[in-house]
Amino acid sequence: MFRLSKKVEYGLIAVKHMAGVNTPCSAKEISEKYSIPYDLLSKILQKLKKENILDSIQGTKGGYVLVREPASVSLAEIFNAIEGDTYILDCGRHEDPDTCSIYETCILSSPLKKIQREINSYFNKTKLADIV
């Protein structure tokens, strides 16, 4: 069954936490509050910063903050920032028949690509505000 990775789960916990507060949040604060491994959370927050979902503020009262309003950040953006594009089938990544030895006879590719499009659509439409 479709399942979110721990990295994505931890990232969602962190951004949901940030959406509920009006002050910068440190990785250490979030890590301790939700029992998330600090080093892993730090890497996740850096990825979210790199994709302009978060920003970091330096200093003693610094930490991470959401760059945009929760209603404008899709879950797909968060997932992709953390894990990159993910697919339920490897062939979802390409349309090149030369990359798959059973491309011509595969009976899963077409229906599962349709499901993949529906999953992508759902997570693109669902915003962080929907889970806050």
Judge whether 19 lies within some domain. yes
User: How many domains is the chain partitioned into structurally?
Assistant: 1
Provide the domain limits for residue 45.
Answer: 6-130
CA pair distance 25, 3, nearest whole angstrom = 27
pTM of the predicted protein model = 0.85
Give me the CATH number covering residue 117.
1.10.10.10
CA pair distance 36, 123, nearest whole angstrom = 24
Judge whether 78 lies within some domain. yes
Judge whether 38 lies within some domain. yes
pLDDT in single tens digits along all 132 residues of the chain: 578 899 999 999 999 999 999 899 999 999 999 999 999 999 999 999 999 999 999 988 899 999 999 999 999 999 999 998 777 766 656 566 667 777 778 888 788 888 888 988 999 999 999 998
Which residues are CB-neighbours of 86 under 8 A, at least 6 positions away? Answer: 79
Q: Hey, what long-range contacts does 83-87 have (CB within 8 A, 24 or more apart)? A: 83/5, 83/7, 83/8, 87/116
The owner of tokens 């077409």 is: 110
Judge whether 1 lies within some domain. no
Judge whether 50 lies within some domain. yes
Judge whether 29 lies within some domain. yes
